[in-house]
């Protein structure tokens, strides 16, 4: 039985080590290290203090204001009706499976564990297209398209950027995939939970969001909790022009998926241009610094990725003591042993701030000396 787990679970480490949550360095969760948007936080505080504010009313079941703001966030290229807010990106992924009820799904792996969980929940047959470490986990066009033609899945699911590798998939490949899937009524779900970490010009070159009006069999999921640093609020959305999903949304899906406070935060945060620009610039610097520091460790192999986390492979005997040794120092990393196609020795590290990075590198140096 596949063991499903996520990063971002510092609670168990707090219980086992006694280190308080606010003293942990959590490299296991890929969250913006700059913290939440100042404008978003101000809006939330105002809502909390308002005598008759959003907390005293049910949220708008149609999300009219939020949909309008999200459409503007995408440059006005999307129809507001094609935007479906959700209780985080995970809910949007599960909603696609509930709406389509596919008989067979092809998952590009290694992959976020929720894809398979969503499939199992609908008793969907799962097949895989495995990316290769020797190719830096990039998607090889001809092999992938041949696999799609051979398997003829009802749904193809992939991450772009991929979690945990950080690799992107070319739009030309995804458009050709949509074309082939349409022959037998199949669909494509591309998870863009980390796309916001790319600069606008890069994002427009890779994101499929604005292609949604052209393809009714395209589903794009986005997270608002990672870039905007509010995983505790839970906020995401789906972008699709699928009539089948619209019917599910109106007739089946429970109302009020995104709570009032999350909406208040998102409405302000997506307009916080200074915060968005600062985040991207600072993360470029921090990622370059972390990559350089990690590359100095001989047992560590670093895989190139495009966003705010790094996939590494650690050789023996260092790999056996790495996670536990770091946890003893109050440092949490994501063990990728349960990802299909990775296994023992693979770990994912979020890009955090200078102080946390210094703490990590110091702990790694100490562990390396102990293993010599």
Q: H helices of 167-317, where?
A: 171-183, 200-206, 243-251, 260-269, 273-295
- The answer, as to whether pTM is greater than 0.85, is yes
Residues 227-262: tens digit of each pLDDT = 999 999 999 999 999 999 999 999 999 999 999 999
CATH for the stretch 38-269:
3.40.640.10
Please give the Cα distance from 167 to 159 (Å, whole number): 8
Query: Would you list the domain boundaries of the chain?
Result: 10-30+273-370, 38-269
Radius of gyration of the chain (CA): 21
Does the pLDDT of residue 351 top 80, yes or no? yes
pLDDT the model gives residue 201: 79
Residues 32-86: tens digit of each pLDDT = 999 999 999 999 999 999 988 899 999 999 999 999 999 999 998 899 999 999 9
CATH fold for domain 10-30+273-370: 3.90.1150
Q: Please say whether the dihedral angle defined by the alpha carbons of residues 106, 110, 115 and 121, taken in this order, is positive or negative.
A: positive
> 179: Cβ–Cβ under 8 A, 6 or more apart, which residues?
none
Residues 95-109: tens digit of each pLDDT = 999 999 999 999 999
Residues 161-179: tens digit of each pLDDT = 999 999 999 999 999 999 9
């Amino acid at each position: 039985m596949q063991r499903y787990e996520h990063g971002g679970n510092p609670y168990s480490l707090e219980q086992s080590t006694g280190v308080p949550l606010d003293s942990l360095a959590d490299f296991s969760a890929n969250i913006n290290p700059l913290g939440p948007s100042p404008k978003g936080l101000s809006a939330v505080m105002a809502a909390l203090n308002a005598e008759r504010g959003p907390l005293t009313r049910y949220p708008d079941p149609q999300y009219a204001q939020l949909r309008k703001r999200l459409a503007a966030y995408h440059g006005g290229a999307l129809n507001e009706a094609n935007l479906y807010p959700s209780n985080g990106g995970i809910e949007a992924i599960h909603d696609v499976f509930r709406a389509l009820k596919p008989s067979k799904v092809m998952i590009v792996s290694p992959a976020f564990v929720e894809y398979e969980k969503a499939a199992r929940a609908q008793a969907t047959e799962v097949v895989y297209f495995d990316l290769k470490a020797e190719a830096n986990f990039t998607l090889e066009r001809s092999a992938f398209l041949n696999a799609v033609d051979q398997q003829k899945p009802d749904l193809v699911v992939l991450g772009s950027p991929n979690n945990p590798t950080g690799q992107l998939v070319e739009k030309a490949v995804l458009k050709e995939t949509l074309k082939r899937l349409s022959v037998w009524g199949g669909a494509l779900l591309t998870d863009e939970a980390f796309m916001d970490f790319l600069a606008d010009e890069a994002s427009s070159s890779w994101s499929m969001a604005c292609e949604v009006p052209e393809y009714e069999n395209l589903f794009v999921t986005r997270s608002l909790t990672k870039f905007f640093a509010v995983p505790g609020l839970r906020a995401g959305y789906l972008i699709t022009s699928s009539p089948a999903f619209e019917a599910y949304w109106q007739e089946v899906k429970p109302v009020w998926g995104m709570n009032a406070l999350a909406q208040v935060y998102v409405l302000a945060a997506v307009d916080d241009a200074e915060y968005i620009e600062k985040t991207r610039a600072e993360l470029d610097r921090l990622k370059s610094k972390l990559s350089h520091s990690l590359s100095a460790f001989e047992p560590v192999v670093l895989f190139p990725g495009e966003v705010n986390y790094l996939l590494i492979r650690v050789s023996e005997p260092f790999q056996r003591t790495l996670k536990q040794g770091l946890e003893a120092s109050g440092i949490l990393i994501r063990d990728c042993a349960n990802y299909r196609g990775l296994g023992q020795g693979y770990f994912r590290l979020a890009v955090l701030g200078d102080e946390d990075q210094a703490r990590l590198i110091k702990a790694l140096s100490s562990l390396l000396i102990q293993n010599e």
